[in-house]
A and B are shown apart, each in its own frame.
Chain A
């Protein structure tokens, strides 16, 4: 009896771990491309928050999660395009701009959310969330069925994006060019290839993925928006990219560590672990600091020109 109980818990934990990993993975893989293109985007949190809010508002006002998803992605791209104008074209300090984007998203979404709440009489409906798939009809398999074959499609998409981005970065010409933006943008410029064009493209892709991550939060994990819903997930994605040494596969590993923590926290509350819940909630942030301490030698893997706007001599 207790064996059965424990295995149910473990299955639930692993299943929720993959679900929780999805937004982190989407954002980290998307922003990996941005960082490889030489841009320190510190506005991940804000982009995700904006994606989340726009996805939710669109979903409840049109009744379509798919439109919500599309709108969330569009919002993500738009946010990163503001970043692109400031960081790439105007060559502003990327830390200040990223910080600005976060504060901008927090302020705007808080106000618009309150307004929407007031206009609808103090209550906003829940979203009809995405349902899990039944992949290959295997969802009912014992153990692995629930973990591997009944996730939402975006979870599969997120994990499929890892080999896709790896292939792109390491096996295509355009991917090589993106990578060299972070190492030696001058080489591209000398050959007459547009540096800023590629950086805009990288930021657009990153925004798409981060917006998607935000949308996933409201369309698949919870069913409604609350101000500050991202609660540091964008920053965790940032930490994950550094911990993953700017490479796709190690990034997956780092994502799973953070997802496991959150999954543990959710289940621990359910089972009644006696630790104060604040300590459980604090785990991802504590671990983020510890991870950053452990990976301090990763700086060697950091793209050489990361964060330095390209200036033609």
Chain B
């Protein structure tokens, strides 16, 4: 109608756009995000050039920096997988934060119950962590299929509830470190800690497991019947149902796996880096994981790159804070900007301008 008068029309592209243009969009989004972040830094009165070069140096400047970045990236890989996997099936699990805490909490509890050599203890702790997150995912799944509570609501509510539960457990002499004033557990047993896998390099085995999880989930989605069902369910639940995919069990499986992956993020951080639980130590991993999951879609390479980028930002921001005095919270702001810009540019890439003949 009226648009024809301008001689140009916005037309929706047909089909999926190819790998090359999707890579282009990603690069464009990241560049725009850095520009926007630079503007934000400038507005707060920081020396933008100095801040960015410190950020880069702190993230990837030397071996210690790279190792630190990988360490930060580890829980993000798990949490990003958790989000990306669920979103692939169009199941809106936004409860990574709660599931991360639940995993770490169950793993911590188990680690205080038994005494085993590390060869048995570490797998046990990992299993408990997966189970903790998976249980919370299962709860959301039952609420969805039996009681029709939208998972996006239940998972958000569990995020708040789990942290309150931990806060309760950390008082009252239950889990609180005896003789301490802080709300924190004692350090976990040596045998339960995730060991380093390379001599002389302070990077725990959780990183390897995260990479393994990345490939496992990729293979699961691409090569296994279950994966086909999940993808079919994500693109059209009705059609999938006619092809024999049971929606209830699909929701259950996806939320259990997604929750379990998030739980492993909690184990990686608590048993690989912090060695103790507090109510704030795991904060923000879930949110960053969600961002990783959204911007990377379900491409394992994308999740890997995004987690590494954000891990690097987290590591580099510490140097930036110390030397340039810019709050390390800039990372959360940058991630937020990347997310919004990514969402909008990927949409714009779905359209193109075409010339329309006049007098139509």
Contacts and interface: CB of A to CB of B under 8 A. Distances in A.
B152 A95 contact: yes
Contacts, number: 126
Contacts of A239: 153
A115 B334 CA distance: 14
Interface in A213-236: 231-232, 235
A285 B168 contact: no
Contacts of B40: 111
A281 interface: yes
Contact of B344 (A86, A232, A276, A299): A86
A111 B327 contact: yes
B157 interface: yes
Contacts of A293: 143, 147-149
Nearest to A97: B343
Interface string A292-313: 1100100100000000000000
B340 interface: yes
B213 interface: no
B332 A111 contact: yes
B150 A115 contact: no
B160 interface: yes
B176 to A, nearest CB: 13
A96 B343 contact: yes
Contacts of A91: 347
A278 B44 CA distance: 37
A238 B156 CA distance: 12
Interface stretch (A24-32, A102-110, A139-147, A177-185): A102-110
Interface string B82-119: 00000100001010000000000000000000000000
A153 B260 CA distance: 48
B337 interface: yes
Interface in A254-279: 276, 278-279
Contacts of A289: 143, 149, 153-154, 157
A107 B94 contact: no
Interface string A63-104: 000000000000000000010011000111001110111011
Interface in B272-320: 287, 290-291, 294
B323 interface: no
A286 interface: yes
Contact of A296 (B92, B148, B160): B148
User: Which among B156, B171, B340 has the greatest number of chain A C-beta atoms within 10 A?
Assistant: B156
Interface in B319-360: 325-327, 329-330, 332-337, 339-340, 343-344, 347-348, 350
B152 A86 contact: no
A216 B167 CA distance: 28
Given A285-B161, A289-B153, A289-B154, A104 B347 contact: no
A112 B333 contact: yes
Interface string B234-274: 00000000000000000000000000000000000000000
B351 to A, nearest CB: 8
Nearest to B169: A278
Contacts of A105: 336
A299 B339 CA distance: 31
A99 B157 contact: no
Given A96-B343, A276-B168, A90 B348 contact: yes
Contacts of B157: 232, 235, 285-286, 288-289
B220 interface: no
A11 B344 CA distance: 50
B161 A100 contact: no
Contact of A279 (B143, B168, B325): B168
B164 interface: yes
A282 interface: yes
B143 A85 contact: no
Interface string A109-124: 0111111001100000
B149 A111 contact: no
A34 interface: no
A118 B325 contact: yes
A278 B167 contact: yes
A289 B157 CA distance: 7
B290 A99 contact: yes
29 contacts: A95-B92, A99-B294, A100-B294, A100-B340, A103-B339, A104-B337, A104-B339, A105-B336, A106-B287, A107-B334, A107-B336, A108-B333, A110-B329, A111-B40, A119-B45, A231-B160, A232-B157, A232-B160, A235-B157, A276-B171, A278-B168, A281-B164, A282-B160, A282-B165, A289-B154, A289-B157, A292-B154, A293-B149, A296-B149
Would you list the 9 A-B pairs with minimal beta carbon distance, nearest first? A107-B336, A111-B333, A107-B332, A296-B148, A114-B327, A90-B347, A278-B168, A104-B336, A111-B329
Given A96-B87, A296-B147, A296-B148, 18 more contacts: A82-B340, A90-B350, A92-B343, A95-B152, A103-B339, A108-B333, A110-B333, A111-B40, A119-B44, A232-B156, A232-B157, A276-B171, A278-B164, A279-B168, A286-B157, A289-B143, A293-B148, A299-B148
